[in-house]
Amino acid sequence: MLRTQLKVACRLYNTLFHLEEEEYKKNKHSMSRNELRQLALVLRKRNTEFQALHSQVAQQVADRFYWARQRFFEGLANKPKEKKPHMYLSLVYPQGGWKLSNIREVGQGENTEKKKARLYLSKIGFFTVVIHRDFPLEGVSQVCVKLNPSGRIFVVFLVEGEVEAPYEEKRAGEPMEVVGLDVGITRLVTLSDGRFLDNAKPLERSLGRIRLLQRSLSRKRKLSKNWFKAKLKLAEEYEYVKDFRRDLFFKLGALLARDYVILVLEDLNVVGLIQRGETRKRRMRLYDSAFSELRRILGWQFQRHGKTVLAVPSYNSSRECFQCGEVNHSLALEDRVFHCPFCGFTLDRDLNASLVLSKRACRVGATRLVCLVGELRPIPPLPSLGLAARRRRGGAMIQEASPFRAG
Ligand SMILES: [Zn+2]
């Protein structure tokens, strides 16, 4: 049912897109948001096919086109194009048209927030949903239902108002805990307090399986039943990689946001970095490490706790000496230890870089810096991934999926 609805919504989007284009060619007039919404309603009234959609959902399709065009006008995106049905994967219920009922607790042990409920979406029907976090029902301003390519369905409730408790202000004069964070390929993160986390390389670990699935997909006749099955399996594998990575980043973010007030990291141009990568393997590892996503998630976690993430210039950050500030130009990519030819300072390469970053934060305005220099030690194992164990069948695979064994 959801798939049918998505197809209809996609067709409505494309119809709006073509009508708008015609209107502009004829009268040199770009339709306003209200005109587009009205048009969507008129189309729905005239065409029985579009009546499969809830009226507000149809209006939201118009909104979606409007925002896409608006972003184009502001120079933030390319010109909107016709959407392909397999890329149109979510519906939004802006106000009404949905109902939660029969909410019951199913969490066990410490996990008391986990609940199950029955969700009714107008024109689609009933879903049983697993609610993993508490939220005020009366604060919900829209409900988005999203179909992932692997067939998993997510429902996102947008809640307005303050949900998280804000971070309480420290008394003036008290030092703020600042930590520098250096990202890398061998060690994903190295903190200036000496802690580090090895790079789990999620994509690289799944690469064998992805290649196998890709090969099997290419052997199938396109659009046949077996082709769809193979495609689904491939989508599942990619989604697993993505979930694995995000799960790791979120756990790391929660850990850091608990311990520190200011996190300092490099202002990296990640796309440029990947393009400059010398070998294919290095480029893949850079891509696999997903530095931008890591930064986005850490930023979100810190903001949520009322704390700050500072991005400082990344120029020469790994070649500068923490002790005397001179730049060691002879340091090569593969050198793991930083040795300063000017003052004789010797330290682990990544640790030096994270210390330099936290020092730079002082220059851009973070006051009262506490650098906790210590020995390098791994971050203790983060809670195991239930997801990894569930998705993998076969014992060996499950063991392999846990990258957090201290090492
Ligand atoms: Zn030095």
Q: How many CA atoms lie within 13 A of 123 on its CB side?
A: 23
| Predicted confidence (pLDDT) per residue in 63-79, tens digit | 999 999 999 999 988 99
Cβ pair 62, 14 in contact under 8 A:
no
- Among 193, 288, 320, 350, which one carries the catalytic annotation? 350
Alpha-carbon gap, residue 269 to 252, rounded angstroms: 22
> Residue 225: how many CB atoms within 10 A of its CB?
9
Does the CA dihedral 199-132-140-163 come out positive or negative?
negative
Confidence of residue 193 (pLDDT cuts 50, 70, 90): confident
Tokens of residue 302, six digits: 């810190």
Cβ pair 155, 2 in contact under 8 A:
no
Average pLDDT over residues 208-232: 94
Structure confidence at residue 255 (pLDDT): 87
* DSSP-derived 3-state class of residue 343: coil
Structure confidence at residue 402 (pLDDT): 33
Is the pLDDT confidence value at 397 over 70? Answer: no
Alpha-carbon gap, residue 218 to 216, rounded angstroms: 6
362 alpha carbon – ligand 1 mean position (Å)? 19
Structure confidence at residue 12 (pLDDT): 95
341 alpha carbon – ligand 1 mean position (Å)? 7
Alpha-carbon gap, residue 309 to 179, rounded angstroms: 10
Range scoring the smallest mean pLDDT among 21-30, 295-304, 317-326, 379-388:
379-388
358 phi, psi to nearest 5 deg: -70, -30
Query: How large a percentage of the chain has pLDDT more than 90?
Result: 40
- Among 182, 193, 237, 288, which one carries the catalytic annotation? 182
Would you tell me the crossing angle of helices 225-259 and 202-219 to the nearest 10 degrees? 170
Structure confidence at residue 381 (pLDDT): 58
365 alpha carbon – ligand 1 mean position (Å)? 24
352 alpha carbon – ligand 1 mean position (Å)? 11
Q: What is the dihedral of CA 23, 28, 30, 31, to 10 degrees?
A: -50
* Pairing of the two strands 178-183 and 115-121: unpaired
Confidence of residue 168 (pLDDT cuts 50, 70, 90): low
216 burial via Cβ count (<10 Å: 0-12, 13-18, 19+):
middle
* Pairing of the two strands 140-147 and 187-191: unpaired
Provide the mean pLDDT of the chain.
Answer: 83
Tokens of residue 213, six digits: 């699935």
- Among 266, 288, 320, 348, which one carries the catalytic annotation? 266
Q: What letters, b where the CB count within 10 A reaches 16 and e where it falls short, cover 366-393?
A: beebebeeeeeeebeebeebeebeebbe
Alpha-carbon gap, residue 275 to 286, rounded angstroms: 10
288 alpha carbon – ligand 1 mean position (Å)? 33
122 alpha carbon – ligand 1 mean position (Å)? 67
Structure confidence at residue 103 (pLDDT): 87
357 alpha carbon – ligand 1 mean position (Å)? 15
Structure confidence at residue 392 (pLDDT): 41
299 burial via Cβ count (<10 Å: 0-12, 13-18, 19+):
middle
**Most confident region among 256-260, 281-285, 375-379, 395-399 by mean pLDDT:** 281-285
Neighbours of ion ligand 1 (CB under 5 A): 321, 323-324, 340, 342-343, 345
Question: Which one-letter DSSP state was computed for residue 127?
Answer: E
Confidence of residue 86 (pLDDT cuts 50, 70, 90): confident
Average pLDDT over residues 178-186: 88
Q: Is 266 a catalytic residue?
A: yes
Range scoring the smallest mean pLDDT among 45-49, 99-103, 166-170, 314-318:
166-170
Structure confidence at residue 377 (pLDDT): 62
Range scoring the smallest mean pLDDT among 8-12, 89-93, 320-324:
320-324
Tokens of residue 78, six digits: 């390319």
Cβ pair 401, 385 in contact under 8 A:
yes
Structure confidence at residue 111 (pLDDT): 73
Average pLDDT over residues 249-257: 89
| Predicted confidence (pLDDT) per residue in 103-126, tens digit | 888 877 777 778 899 999 998 999
Average pLDDT over residues 266-290: 87
258 alpha carbon – ligand 1 mean position (Å)? 33
375 alpha carbon – ligand 1 mean position (Å)? 19
Residues 6+ apart with CB under 8 A from 184: 190, 199, 289, 350
**DSSP alpha helices (H): ranges in 48-123?**
55-73
Cβ pair 12, 19 in contact under 8 A:
no
Residue with the bigger pLDDT between 102 and 13: it is 13
Structure confidence at residue 391 (pLDDT): 44
Residue with the bigger pLDDT between 187 and 214: it is 214
Structure confidence at residue 19 (pLDDT): 93
Residues 6+ apart with CB under 8 A from 291: 183, 268, 270, 273
Read off the pTM: 0.78
323 alpha carbon – ligand 1 mean position (Å)? 5
Q: Is 350 a catalytic residue?
A: yes
Tokens of residue 406, six digits: 């201290």
Q: What is the dihedral of CA 46, 51, 53, 58, to 10 degrees?
A: 10
Q: Is 247 a catalytic residue?
A: no
Average pLDDT over residues 149-174: 70
Alpha-carbon gap, residue 161 to 134, rounded angstroms: 14
Q: For the chain, how many residues are written?
A: 407
Residues 6+ apart with CB under 8 A from 314: 266, 267, 268
For residue 262, the one-letter residue type is I
Structure confidence at residue 195 (pLDDT): 83
